[in-house]
């Protein structure tokens, strides 16, 4: 399928379309998130305490970005390429396992 | 299969509902609004009676949501339909851009109704013409038959060029008035209008796409150009589909402007929708009285039939544009378009604007005759008395 963007996260680059004929007929895109890292908007960073986490995955459900994933051991991990630091996960976590900490850059 | 029409006496609204049924629409999302309501009531009845298979009716809380639901359904690959009127169409405005921008061939019937205030439910074209720049194609029906035929053709054109289309009928004059409509047997409709082949679908899980994602200044411009290319292509497709319709069912729609007795006409009346039926009748009477006049009914307003207007303008001394609509601060909308098309050409007949029938004001054969007298005088004098004539105004 004709798309605007590359397909692999590793080394994905934006394809620059040089002529109008290279554009798809409808403005659809595949894989914009592979190159648009929402993670660089952040001031605060969520930190998960596995000792308090009860694996309810409410944070996973509420995260507006593809930033929370479920690790092999069943606890949650955060993909900091995409976490924009909104704090929704910390607010929703019923056991207060997630805290928002000021990020040092 | 030989074509034998099924003749039914129906209102314009029922003609629209039957056409949607015969087009095998898969999703209808709509909100009731006068005078459109009986379209969706009839469709609901088809579903309740088990007369249609595979048709989902989504009852929504507003027209904005109706169009949003149609957009979702159409993006998923379904053939989607809705209907509205006036304030409801205005409420849909934002979503109309999403439908055309995402290149979704949704078909909608708009029952032309005046915008409030003052509150009005009567015929007036300002509601649909205010949606001129949304990227929707617009077909104006003269009678109930054209409502039925228009919906079927609109789907075919829309799905060929991947743009949405609006079929416009007038409030009460068509929507609630019963007339004979020749309907087409289902098998032949299926032959004319095969199932939709979408550009992409949201249910193709091997090729996931995101629709309506961000278009930066580096890319947005090209997508606008593609919409315009599709509109240009539509001019050709409309004529082909109209011709095919004529060959299959005997009613030819290959002209985007239907010409009536214009061959040797000194001047013509130009307009859209049901008022052109009155005009044609008046033309017959005026011809008997010695006036060399004709009628030019603009069927498709978007894409605008530029070439056909140019050909017409070359051969007449004057055009009286009858607008049942108005753009405040300027003039009648069809008049504005027609003048714009002709400015850079060598076809510059006298062109005068008559504002008629706003808010359902009666427009009759004797009105056309009075306009003919005035237009004749203007042409003889060789100059306009006024450019925009508020014809019915109580003075
Ligand atoms: S919401 Fe809290 S407890 Fe539930 S999975 Fe997420 S971190 Fe663990
Ligand atoms: S802070 Fe916001 S974006 Fe980051 S993981 Fe939590 S919910 Fe997701």
Number of Cβ within a 10 Å radius of residue A28: 23
B325 touches A at CB < 8 Å: no
pLDDT digits (tens, 9 = 90+) for B90-103: 999 999 999 999 99
CA A60 to ligand 1: nearest atom: 6
**What distance in Å separates residue A67's CA from the closest CA in chain B?**
18
CB B137 within 8 A of CB B116: no
Q: How far from chain centre, in Å, is Cα B146? A: 10
End-to-end CA distance of chain B: 60
Sign of the alpha-carbon torsion through B166, B169, B175, B178: negative
**What distance in Å separates residue A73's CA from the closest CA in chain B?**
28
B162 touches A at CB < 8 Å: yes
pLDDT band at residue A1, thresholds of 50, 70 and 90?
very low
pLDDT attached to residue B1: 77
pLDDT attached to residue B156: 98
- pLDDT at position B327 over 70: yes
Number of Cβ within a 10 Å radius of residue A26: 21
Provide, as residue numbers in chain B, all residues whose Cβ is less than 8 Å from the Cβ of A28: 200, 209-211, 213
End-to-end CA distance of chain A: 39
Ligand 1 centre to CA of A47 (Å) is 11
Ligand 2 centre to CA of A39 (Å) is 10
What's the rounded mean pLDDT across residues B271-275?
A: 98
pLDDT digits (tens, 9 = 90+) for B217-252: 888 999 999 999 999 999 999 999 999 999 999 999
Which of A4, A16, A26 shows the shortest C-beta gap to B199? Answer: A26
The DSSP element (H or E) to which A38 belongs, if any, is none
pLDDT digits (tens, 9 = 90+) for A57-86: 999 999 998 899 999 999 999 999 899 999
SS3 B269: strand
How is residue B5 written in tokens? 């029409």
Give, for ligand 2, the residue of A49, A63, A77 to mutate: max count of ligand atoms closer than 8 Å to Cβ: A63
Q: Is A86 in the pocket of ligand 1 (CB under 6 A)?
A: no
What chain A residue is nearest to B99 in terms of C-alpha separation?
Answer: A26
* pLDDT more than 90, % of chain B: 95
* pLDDT more than 70, % of chain B: 100
CB B112 within 8 A of CB B123: yes
Domains annotated for chain B, with CATH where assigned, are: 6-249 (3.40.50.970), 257-389 (3.40.50.920)
B232 touches A at CB < 8 Å: no
Q: Is A95 in the pocket of ligand 1 (CB under 6 A)?
A: yes
DSSP state of B196: P
How is residue A92 written in tokens? 């929703």
Place of tokens 């034998």: B4
How far apart, in whole angstroms, are the C-alpha atoms of residue B386 and residue B383? 9
pLDDT higher at B80 or A103: B80
Q: Is A63 in the pocket of ligand 1 (CB under 6 A)?
A: no
- pLDDT at position B276 over 60: yes
- pLDDT at position B330 over 60: yes
Give which of B97, B218, B114 is closest to B163, Cα–Cα: B97
Provide, as residue numbers in chain A, all residues whose Cβ is less than 8 Å from the Cβ of B162: 25-26
How far apart, in whole angstroms, are the C-alpha atoms of residue B376 and residue B73? 52
Give which of B239, B295, B255, B242 is closest to B271, Cα–Cα: B295
The beta-strand segments (E) located in chain A are 28-29, 44-48, 68-70, 76-78, 98-102
On the 0-12 / 13-18 / 19+ scale of CB atoms within 10 A, A2 is: exposed
- pLDDT at position B263 over 60: yes
B77 touches A at CB < 8 Å: no
- pLDDT at position B209 over 80: yes
Ligand 1, atom 2, lies closest to the CA of A93
pLDDT band at residue A11, thresholds of 50, 70 and 90?
low
- pLDDT at position B271 over 70: yes
pLDDT attached to residue A30: 64
SS3 B392: coil
Ligand nearest to the CA of A76: 1
SS3 A90: helix
B207 touches A at CB < 8 Å: yes
The beta-strand segments (E) located in chain B are 6-10, 27-30, 56-59, 80-84, 107-112, 137-140, 165-170, 179-183, 210-211, 257-260, 267-271, 293-298, 300-302, 318-323, 350-355, 388-390
pLDDT digits (tens, 9 = 90+) for B150-161: 999 999 999 999
User: Under an 8 A CB cutoff, do A23 and B209 touch?
Assistant: no
pLDDT band at residue A2, thresholds of 50, 70 and 90?
very low
Ligand nearest to the CA of A46: 2
pLDDT attached to residue A6: 39
CB A85 within 8 A of CB A29: no
């Amino acid at each position: 399928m004709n798309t605007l963007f590359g397909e692999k996260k590793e080394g994905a680059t934006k394809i620059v379309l040089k002529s109008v004929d290279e554009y798809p007929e409808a403005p659809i895109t595949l894989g914009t998130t592979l190159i648009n890292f929402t993670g660089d908007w952040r001031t605060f960073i969520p930190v998960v305490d596995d000792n308090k986490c009860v694996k309810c995955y409410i944070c996973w459900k509420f995260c507006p970005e593809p930033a929370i994933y479920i690790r092999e051991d069943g606890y949650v991990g955060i993909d900091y390429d995409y976490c924009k630091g909104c704090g929704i996960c910390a607010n929703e976590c019923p056991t207060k396992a997630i805290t928002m900490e000021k990020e040092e850059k | 299969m030989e074509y034998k029409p099924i003749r039914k006496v129906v209102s314009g609204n029922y003609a629209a509902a039957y056409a949607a049924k015969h087009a095998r629409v898969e999703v209808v999302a709509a909100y009731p609004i006068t005078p459109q309501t009986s379209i969706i009531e009839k469709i609901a009845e088809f579903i309740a009676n088990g007369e249609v298979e595979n048709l989902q009716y989504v009852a929504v809380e507003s027209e904005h949501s109706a169009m949003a639901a149609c957009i979702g359904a159409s993006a998923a690959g379904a053939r989607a339909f809705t209907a509205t009127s006036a304030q409801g169409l205005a409420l849909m405005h934002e979503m109309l851009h999403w439908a055309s921008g995402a290149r979704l061939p949704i078909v909608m019937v708009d029952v032309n109704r005046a915008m409030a205030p003052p509150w009005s439910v009567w015929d007036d074209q300002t509601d649909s013409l205010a949606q001129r720049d949304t990227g929707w194609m617009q077909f104006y029906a003269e009678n109930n038959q054209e409502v039925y035929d228009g919906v079927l053709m609109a789907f075919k054109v829309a799905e060929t060029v991947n743009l949405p289309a609006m079929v416009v009928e007038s409030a009460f004059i068509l929507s609630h008035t019963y007339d004979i409509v020749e309907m087409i047997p289902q098998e032949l409709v299926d032959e004319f209008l095969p199932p939709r082949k979408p550009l992409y679908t949201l249910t193709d899980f091997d090729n996931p796409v995101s629709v309506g994602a961000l278009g930066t200044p580096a890319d947005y411009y090209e997508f606008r150009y593609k919409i315009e290319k599709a509109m240009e292509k539509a001019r050709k497709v409309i004529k082909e589909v109209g011709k095919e319709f004529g060959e299959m069912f005997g009613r030819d729609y290959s002209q985007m402007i239907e010409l009536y007795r214009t061959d040797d006409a000194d001047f013509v009346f130009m307009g859209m929708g049901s008022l052109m039926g009155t005009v044609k009748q008046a033309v017959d009477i005026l011809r008997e009285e010695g006036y060399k006049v004709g009628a030019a009914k603009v069927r498709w307003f978007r894409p605008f039939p530029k070439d056909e207007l140019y050909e017409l303008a070359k051969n007449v001394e004057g055009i009286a544009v009858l607008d049942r609509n108005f753009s405040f601060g300027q003039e009648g909308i069809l008049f504005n378009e027609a003048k714009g098309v002709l400015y850079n050409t060598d076809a510059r007949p006298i062109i005068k604007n008559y504002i008629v029938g706003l808010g359902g004001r009666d427009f009759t054969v004797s009105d056309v005759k009075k306009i003919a007298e005035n237009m004749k005088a203007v042409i003889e004098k060789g100059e306009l008395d006024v450019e925009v004539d508020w014809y019915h105004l109580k003075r």
